[in-house]
Structures are given as structure tokens and as C-alpha cells.
Amino acid sequence: MAVAAPPVRAGLLPNGAFSERAAGTTGAAFLKSPGGARASAMGGVSAAAGQGAEAVFLNPASLSRVSAEAPSEVSLGYDALLESAYSGSAVYARPLGGEGALAAGLLYASQSAQTKYDALGDAAGKFAPTDLALGAWYARRFRDSIGLAGGLKIIRSALDDQSGTTVAADFGVVARHIADIGEGPFDVGVAVLNIGPPLKLGSVADPLPARFRAGGVWHMSPNFDGGFDVNLPVDQDPYAAFGVEAHVPVLKTDSASPWVVSVRGGYDASRTRDVDGLTGLSAGAGFDFASLRLDYAWIPFGDLGTVNRVTIAFRF
């Protein structure tokens, strides 16, 4: 009688954590690059520069920028990834009065149907891998300049007839205007993401792609920002990212907020490894019509192809 193989157990961290030796050893890979088109166009810079409801996926303390008088916001995102893969997000954020703000949202990822094969190598139907995360986050401001936030996500992945569920926590802090560089204020932020037990599919359990992110943003002028992040992902070497954003009011309206056009660019050092062709750079644009915001990001991956991200948000 055949004896079933014992389940493979995994700790919170993979072997060779925080280096390339851990590449490919974590599960729930779809959690690695959410956050919307704005951050993606700026090279992923988001520890201190995050804005919009979708920024909670990158640093939940971005919520602390929401003032008590601000409208609620619903952000919807779609990402056309490499080959036939795609992902998307939906986030609702609102102020709670006083110094608090709350957000709830989901992140999903999938790809076109794949052919599965039996032990003899014959085609045995098709399947589409799917991943989903549902989360809620709360942020609070202190002394008008420091924001603290935390949140919890439920994560579920399915591969053919195997599925697994786990939970993860996110934490973040943003400190605004800690110093002046020239005449421009400088903000800093820190986030710790995807902290939780391994995700188990069948007899295999993989650690989550936990990540530590720290960075700053310099508001060089009222219309120009520059920022950087230092990233420590659990499944690759540490790397840096840089991003800039120029935003110009183009039309005054009856509302308190003018229409704004933004142009963005960035560089992500992690995407230059072992890939030929144009990679590492990113670019995009944004249009903010007070009650409606539209952002786009273009991210080349050299010979592998190009990723396109779109985010649309509604304020009410």
C-alpha cells in the first residue's frame, strides 16, 4: 500500500531570506507588485510618496493623508501583465472624522486557461490559476504630521484542484515635513507588508512574500516631487527605486480643487537583473478632474514584453 508523502512545512522566512538564494521560494507572488498606476510609473516609489486609495497595498499609512474634510474614494485598477497574465484591484477609502481613515479592498490575479497533463503526458483538460486577497486597513494621524496604520488581509490561491488560504498583516508609518531641503519639505515613510503564516497548496507550504520598505519624498516645488525607496523583499536581494512627478494645474473650476495633469517617471533596480533589452525604467501620466482621477503606467521588461497599468478613481 502506497504511503502518502508527509506535508512540506515552511517557516515564516524562506532559506536564504533577503537574498537571491530565496528566489522562487515564496507563494502568493501576486502580492509583490500591487499599488496602482501612479506608483508603478514612479518606479514603485511609495513608502512616503503614496497617494490615493490604492496606495494602501504599498504603505497603509498613506491613508493618513486623508483629511477629515476629504471625500470618500473608490479606486479601480487593471494590469495587463506579461504573456496572458492579468491582475486588478478595487479599494474604498473614507475619512472617519477627526484624525482617522479606513479602507477596504481586494486584489486579484489570474491568467488565460492553461493545459494540464496526466502522468502519461496526455492533455487532461484546462485550468486557470487564481489568486485573491481581501483586506481592511485603518490609519490615524498624530500631531498632524505622523500617520500610523495597520491592516489585515485574507489570502486565497487556487491551482487546478488545489487551494489554500492564509492571513497576513500590514503595518506602516509616514512622517511628513520632518525637514526642509532648500525650500521644499521632506517626508519619510516605512512599511512592513505581508507578515503571516505560509500559504499551503496541497502538501506544499510556501512563505509569504514579506517585504520591508523605507523611503522619502522631497517636495522640491509646489509642482515637482522626487522620491526614493529602499526595498528588502524576503525572496531577493535588497534594491532601490527612484521616481519623479511633475503636476501642473490646467483648469480652475468652481470647486476647491483645480484640474491637474501629471507626468511621471521612475527607475526600479530590481527589474534590471538577468533581463535583456530596455528594463528598469517606467513612465506614465495622470489626470485629476477633482471628482475623477485617471492614471496610466508603462513598464517595459526588455525582451519579455511590457506591462500596462490603469487606475481610475471616483471621489464622492
- pLDDT, tens digit, 9 for 90 and up, residues 72-100: 999 999 999 998 899 999 999 999 988 99
CA dist 265 and 230 (Å) reads 17
Neighbours of 231 (CB within 10 A): 23
CA dist 267 and 281 (Å) reads 5
Q: Is residue 166 part of a domain?
A: yes
Span 216-224, average pLDDT: 96
Helices (H), 107-157: none
Domain that holds residue 29: 20-117+125-238
CB 105 within 8 A of CB 67: no
Q: Is residue 313 part of a domain?
A: no
* Count of alpha carbons within 13 angstroms of residue 66, beta-carbon side: 30
Residue with cell 506614465: 284
Q: Is residue 295 part of a domain?
A: no
pLDDT tens digits for range 152-193: 999 999 988 889 999 999 999 999 999 999 989 999 999 999
Q: Is residue 284 part of a domain?
A: no
Nearest alpha carbon to residue 130 among 151, 153, 105, 106: 106
pLDDT tens digits for range 107-118: 999 998 777 777
Tell me: pLDDT of 138 over 80: yes
Q: Is residue 48 part of a domain?
A: yes
Tell me: pLDDT of 3 over 70: no
Q: What is the mean pLDDT of the chain?
A: 91
The residue type found at 195 is I
Span 203-226, average pLDDT: 96
pLDDT confidence tier of residue 8, bands split at 50, 70 and 90: very low
- Cell numbers that stand for 132 in this block: 485573491
Q: Is residue 278 part of a domain?
A: no
* Structural domain total, the chain: 1
Q: Is residue 255 part of a domain?
A: no
Tell me: pLDDT of 35 over 80: no
CA dist 36 and 313 (Å) reads 10
- Cell numbers that stand for 1 in this block: 500500500
**Taking the mean position of all CA atoms in its chain, how far away is CA 93?**
16
Q: Is residue 12 part of a domain?
A: no
Lowest mean pLDDT among 43-47, 248-252, 255-259: 255-259
What pLDDT does 102 receive?
97
Using CA atoms in the order 316, 173, 37, 227, what is the torsion angle rounded to 10 degrees? 120
pLDDT tens digits for range 255-301: 667 899 999 999 999 987 777 889 999 999 999 998 999 999 999 99
Span 141-146, average pLDDT: 90
Lowest mean pLDDT among 123-137, 193-207, 217-231: 123-137
Nearest alpha carbon to residue 75 among 64, 93, 55, 91: 91
Nearest alpha carbon to residue 86 among 301, 273, 310, 313: 310
Residue with cell 512574500: 209
